[in-house]
Amino acid sequence: MNPILTQHPHEYIVSVSAGEVNLEGNLFIPEGATGIVLFAHGSGSSRHSPRNRYVAGVLQQAGLATLLIDLLTAEEEAIDIHTRHLRFDIGLLASRLVGATDWLAQHPETHNLNIGYFGASTGAGAALVAAAARPDVVKAVVSRGGRPDLATSALPQVKAPTLLIVGGYDTPVIAMNESALAQLRAEKSLKIVPQATHLFEEPGKLEAVAQLASEWFTSYLK
């Protein structure tokens, strides 16, 4: 993969082969890791999202590896800034996640790690579609403020234990997640974080999300 070693001894900047494109990513592998969480960010966000990086840090402290990637290339991002259509192309985003999953399963540093997905907003829809496409590989899914309604037809095919996390003030998204929960056939849970809005920007709310995600992934990836 020709990794570029960063200042942290466990973190690499990698080029992830996903179908016909290569995607830039940040790969962190703590010693003794048994699982890795692949992040699927939401619309208009990137692997540099401070929210996702915070959650990744909590997972790393729990002994889990993480891979944060941009699901669109730099050229596609430039187009999407103006058109805003690629961020809602769930089929495209899910195919990129599947490609990254296959890369992890084949790479010598990660092939022995159980794989989970952390999806935010539209990225959660893509994560659920990808989990349905790789039912024997993806072992857990966590959705933060997700749009599982964008994965409707795939929901019954998801085998991975799935945790849906929604802010208590995010009323439209609560309804979408309740509907998705009813369609999921795998082990599942819906957690509503009280007094939190869509981005969990209120004090202590993102910490609550990270703790819930850490407990879920620790249970199913170790």
Q: pLDDT digit string (tens) for 95-123?
A: 999 999 999 999 999 999 999 999 999 99
Q: Is 14 helix (H, G, I), strand (E, B) or coil?
A: strand
User: What is the distance between the alpha carbons of residues 73 and 79, in angstroms, rounded to a whole number?
Assistant: 10
pLDDT band at 194 (very low <50, low <70, confident <90, very high): very high
DSSP output for 111-145: TTSEEEEEEETHHHHHHHHHHHHSTTTEEEEEEES
Is residue 5 scored above 80 in pLDDT?
no
User: What is the mean predicted confidence (pLDDT) over 64-68?
Assistant: 97
Q: Write down the pLDDT at residue 49.
A: 84
Q: Is 16 helix (H, G, I), strand (E, B) or coil?
A: strand
Q: Which residue has the higher pLDDT, 88 or 207?
A: 207
User: What is the distance between the alpha carbons of residues 130 and 33, in angstroms, rounded to a whole number?
Assistant: 23
Closest CA to 138 of 96, 93, 175, 105: 105
Q: CB-hemisphere CA count at 13 Å for 129?
A: 25
Tokens of 93: 């985003």
Q: Write down the pLDDT at residue 131.
A: 98
High-pLDDT (> 90) share of the chain, %: 78
Domain limits, the chain: 30-221
User: What is the distance between the alpha carbons of residues 139 and 131, in angstroms, rounded to a whole number?
Assistant: 8
Is residue 9 scored above 90 in pLDDT?
no
High-pLDDT (> 70) share of the chain, %: 92
pLDDT band at 159 (very low <50, low <70, confident <90, very high): very high
Q: pLDDT digit string (tens) for 38-59?
A: 999 876 667 878 999 999 999 9
Q: Write down the pLDDT at residue 4.
A: 47
**Rounded to whole angstroms, what are the CA distances from 88 to 30, 44, 48, 52, 84?**
33, 10, 19, 19, 8
Q: pLDDT digit string (tens) for 171-193?
A: 999 999 999 999 999 999 999 99
User: What is the distance between the alpha carbons of residues 61 and 119, in angstroms, rounded to a whole number?
Assistant: 19
Largest Cα separation within the chain, whole Å, is: 45
CATH architecture for the domain at 30-221: 3-Layer(aba) Sandwich (3.40)
Whether residue 40 contacts residue 97, with contact meaning beta carbons closer than 8 Å, is answered with yes
> Rounded to 5 degrees, what angle do the CA atoms 132, 136, 138 make?
65
User: What is the mean predicted confidence (pLDDT) over 149-163?
Assistant: 96
Q: Write down the pLDDT at residue 132.
A: 98
pTM, rounded to two decimals: 0.93
Is residue 2 scored above 60 in pLDDT?
no
Q: Which residue has the higher pLDDT, 85 or 61?
A: 61
